[in-house]
Amino acid sequence: MAEQVLAADGTPLKASLNRALRRQKMRALLLIAPLLLFIMLTFIIPIGQMLFRSVENQIVGDTIPRTVEALDSWDHDADAVPPAPVFDALAQDLMVAVELKEHTRLGSRLNYEMSGISSLFRKSGRKVDDIGEVYTDQFVALDPAWEEPATWVGLLADPKWIAAREAWDGTGDEPAFIMSRAAKTVLPQTASIYADFARVIQTEDNDSPAEEEPWHVVYLALYNDLTANPSLEVTGPLSGLVSSAATAVPSFETEDVVATFEGFDDDWKNPEVWETIYTYSPAYTNGYFLNSVDLQKTNEGVAWQPENEQIYLTLFWRTMLMSMTITISCILLGYPVAWMLANLPARKANMLMILVLLPFWTSLLVRTSAWKVLLQNQGVINDLLVWIGFVADDNRLALINNATGTIIAMTHILLPFMILPLYSVMQTIPVTYLRAAKSLGATNWTAFWRVYFPQSVPGIGAGSILVFILSIGYYITPEIVGGTKGVFISNRIAYHISSSLNWGLAAALGAILLAIVLALYWAYDRIVGIDNVKLGG
């Protein structure tokens, strides 16, 4: 056995070295940690959160939970429109949502999927507080005690809450309402809507459920509970009141809630509205992603959007096509310049390099404004063309607010990103290869095409991916010089964020764009290596 080598302090050398290595790793990580944390917090998490929005759809389930639950029992084939209990549930949900001012938000969410729903919700929201009034009147006629808030509290509140409320000294907020467990089992629907009522009264109106008469829909719920289970029994002092009500309800005049809703708006009879609500009731949806590729969810599965609403595939395709055109123009314009720079003596090359680097360093907005000014109908370029007689004065070229404008301006803006990587690759190609090819009898063209060009391909690859990545995510330049025909997918994302407020769709479009860019970036890393990115020569 070989003798163990010891370090100066007597520990085995191997262990000592390992420790040193570990310490070194720790030190390196400690130096990186602050920045990593910073980037995570200010950049990665925001993007992750945004991407999450593309599948998030809690709003439907959160705003109209009872309706979503009741819709499960809806037999799509047998009934065009859901059965009455769904409408009862909707009346209760809508009442709560109106009080919390959430129904318009839900309306605009569902409006992305089917136009018209927004106004449907707004309209119904204004009248929903009348639903159930028939039952309120009859319960009160039966026994005026039903009008008393105290009756409801006695029936439904947990004794703990009543005690807490009595102990409360009146300063600050009233203790939050607690529903009694017995009421939840005996009067499930009533308990559920009353709990919401108490919450709304306490948080929104800063009032007490012990002093407010409940909404009409609470009476509707009580009626439903009593008819569903006529033999129910409530313990305590109010049992008589409830049992007499239970015997009276079968003779109550009823309200057809379905008809009431249809009275609000005919659209409640429209099966499509219900299909939309049903389709978008789960908490997570792929609907935004489907929409961003011109598909939509229907009850028969995934289908194409109507012809006139199919815009995103075209837009993605156009973004790709224009980015490719820009990349190719950059190759065509960049290659000769890079060749020239690589083959001139250093002093001259440095002078020319300034002409490439100055645009690179110039503000993007300066370059965009320059093109906006130059390409105008009455701008310098058109003036020049008219002056040399290339075009007639009354027939000036439309160079701006279309795809041409975007391509010209973006080629100019991205050209340095092509020239710089090409130049750095070409610099490494020895000139002697070309001379050798020529001395072996190759023509100039053959020498270039068979010897020089293949060696410059890595440069073309690196430059192309770089230009392509930058160009498909461009926003500013297309927005200013692109008009309507020359805009990219980014402009649509910005539109959905700031104008249409369809954030989920914006997030889905962004996620797709990001996936494309990351795939290209991965390829770039493979070909060039991210460490080899050079800035400014």
Partner 1 sequence: MSLPIYATTGQKIWYYSFRVIVGLILFFLIAPIIIIIPLSFNAENFFTFTPKMLALDPEGYSLKHYRDFFTNPDWIRPLKNSLIIAPFATIISVSLGTLAAIGLSQSHVPFRRGIMAILISPMIVPLIISATGMFFFYSQMGLWMEQTFGISKSLSGYIKVILAHAALGIPFVIITVTATLVGFDQSLTRAAANMGATPTVTFFRVQMPLILPGVISGGLFAFITSFDEVVVVLFVGAAAQKTLPWQMFTGLREQISPTILAVATVLVGISILLLATVELLRRRSERLRGMSPS
The C-alpha atoms of residue 165 and residue 160 are separated, in whole angstroms, by 9
Spatial distance between the Cα atoms of 149 and 47, rounded to a whole number of angstroms: 49
Residue 128, SS3 per DSSP: helix
Say whether residue 385 binds partner 1 (CB under 8 A). Answer: no
Q: How far is the CB of 96 from partner 1 (least distance, A)?
A: 25
Q: Contact with partner 1 (CB under 8 A): which of 356, 399, 425, 447?
A: 356
Candidate list 151, 503, 504, 528; residue touching partner 1; CB under 8 A: 503
The tokens of 473 are what?
A: 């995510």
CA distance 490 to 478: 9
Piece in contact with partner 1 (CB under 8 A), picked from 58-66, 159-167, 269-277, 495-503: 495-503
Return the residues of window 406-465 that contact partner 1 according to CB under 8 A: 412, 415-416, 431, 444
Applying CB under 8 A, among 91, 114, 273, 493 the residue interacting with partner 1 is 493
In the set 6, 18, 46, 126, which binds partner 1 (CB under 8 A)? 46
- Contact between 364 and partner 1 per CB under 8 A: yes
Alpha helices of 362-475 — where are they, by DSSP H?
364-375, 380-387, 403-426, 431-439, 444-446, 453-472
How far is residue 208 from each of residues 188, 335, 516, measured CA to CA in Å?
Answer: 22, 77, 55
**How many Å apart are CA 161 and CA 159, to the nearest integer?**
5
Binding to partner 1 by CB under 8 A, coded x per residue (else -) over 398-417, reads --------------x--xx-
Piece in contact with partner 1 (CB under 8 A), picked from 49-57, 75-83, 225-233, 254-262: 49-57
Please tell me whether residue 354 binds partner 1 under the rule CB under 8 A.
Answer: yes
Pairing of strands 295-298, 301-304: antiparallel
List the structure tokens of 177: 């309402």
> Smallest gap, in angstroms, from Cβ of residue 312 to partner 1?
15
Residues within window 63-82 making contact with partner 1, judged by CB under 8 A: none
3-state secondary structure 180-247: CHHHHHHCHHHHHHHHHHHHHHHHCCCCCCCCCCCCHHHHHHHHHHHHHCCCCCCCCCCHHHHHHHHH
Q: Which of residues 121-140 bind partner 1 (CB under 8 A)?
A: none
> Interaction with partner 1 in 468-487: which residues (CB under 8 A)?
469, 472-476, 479-480
Q: How many helices (H) and strands (E) does the chain have?
A: 28, 2
Quick one: which of 276, 376, 406, 502 contacts partner 1 (CB under 8 A)?
Answer: 376
Our finding on whether 519 is near partner 1 (CB under 8 A) is no
Choose among 280, 260, 284, 279: nearest CA to 94: 260
Which of 5, 12, 13, 49 is in the footprint of partner 1 by CB under 8 A?
49
Closest CA to 156 of 199, 194, 202: 194
d(CA 429, CA 341): 13
* 3 state SS of 483: coil
Which two tokens mark 318? 């156009």
Candidates 163, 259, 303, 355; binder of partner 1 (CB under 8 A) is: 355
Q: For residues 207 and 525, which CB has a smaller minimum distance to partner 1 in the complex?
A: 525
Minimum CB separation of residue 202 from partner 1 in Å reads 22
Range 250-309, binding partner 1 (CB under 8 A): none
Q: Which of 232, 293, 324, 370 binds partner 1 (CB under 8 A)?
A: 370
Residues 323-352 close enough to bind partner 1 by CB under 8 A: 333, 336-337, 340, 343-344, 346, 350, 352
Q: Which H, E and C letters describe 391-423, residue by residue?
A: CCHHHCCCCCCCHHHHHHHHHHHHHHHHHHHHH
Among 357, 397, 442, 501, binds partner 1 (CB under 8 A): 357
CA-to-CA distance for 510 and 512, rounded, in angstroms? 5
Q: Is 302 helix (H, G, I), strand (E, B) or coil?
A: strand
Size of the site for partner 1 (CB under 8 A): 95
Q: Which stretch binds partner 1 (CB under 8 A): 2-10, 83-91, 150-158, 508-516?
A: 508-516
Whichever of 186 and 516 has its CB closer to partner 1, that residue is 516
Q: Least separation, in Å, of the C-beta of 476 and partner 1?
A: 6
Residue (290 or 517) nearer to partner 1, CB: 517
C-beta closer to partner 1: residue 154 or 504: 504
The residue from 101, 126, 485, 534 that contacts partner 1 (CB under 8 A) is 534
Residues 210 and 165 sit within 8 Å (Cβ to Cβ): yes
21 makes contact with partner 1 (CB under 8 A): yes
| Single-letter amino acid code for the residue at 520 | L
For residues 284 and 537, what is the distance between their CA atoms, to the nearest angstrom?
48
